[in-house]
């Protein structure tokens, strides 16, 4: 049943300011816990020197398609914990890294294995298409 506040009906689970409440919020927070942000000062250690595969989500806060891709990236981070490290990089805050890897548009996902770029996925893509590109590079049990 919807709540009505100041003439606006809010679906169950949403506060009047539009934020998700209850167990849904907890699930979002759990997904975000599997993601970390990298920048120019941490990219070498977190991505290039990592012992396992790393998926870098090159994005920007103003990017609509990036926001559409965020839930998929968060799901991948959660579902592939232990098999794949997932990090986000804001291209506006780290322009040198974006230029180094020729990021011409966002969102762009890049998979790094042993410090080398192995896969690039440009633009919004559905989860199954992203997984089909990543799976050959992951040691899935």
133 is catalytic: no
Nearest to 86 by CA among 101, 65, 71: 71
> Please, are residues 109 and 59 in contact by the beta-carbon 8 Å criterion?
no
Query: H helices of the chain, where?
Result: 22-33, 43, 64-79, 95-100, 127-134
111 is catalytic: no
31, 63, 86, 97: the active-site residue: 63
47, 54, 55, 66: the active-site residue: 66
Output b/e per residue, 41-60; b: 16+ Cβ within 10 A.
eebeebbeebeebbbbbbbb
Dihedral sign of CA atoms 22, 68, 57, 76 in order: positive
Active site residues: 63, 66
């Amino acid at each position: 049943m919807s709540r009505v506040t100041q003439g606006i009906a809010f679906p169950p689970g949403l506060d009047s300011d539009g934020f998700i409440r209850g167990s849904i919020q907890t699930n979002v927070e759990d997904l975000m816990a599997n993601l970390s942000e990298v920048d120019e000062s941490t990219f070498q250690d977190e991505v290039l020197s990592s012992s396992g595969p790393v998926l870098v989500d090159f994005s920007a806060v103003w990017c609509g398609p990036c926001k559409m891709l965020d839930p998929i990236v968060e799901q991948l981070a959660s579902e592939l914990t232990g098999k794949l490290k997932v990090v986000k990089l804001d291209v506006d805050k780290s322009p040198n890294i974006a230029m180094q890897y020729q990021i011409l548009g966002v969102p762009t996902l890049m998979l790094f294995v042993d410090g080398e770029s192995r896969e690039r996925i440009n633009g919004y893509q559905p989860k199954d298409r992203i997984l089909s590109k990543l799976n050959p590079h992951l040691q899935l049990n």
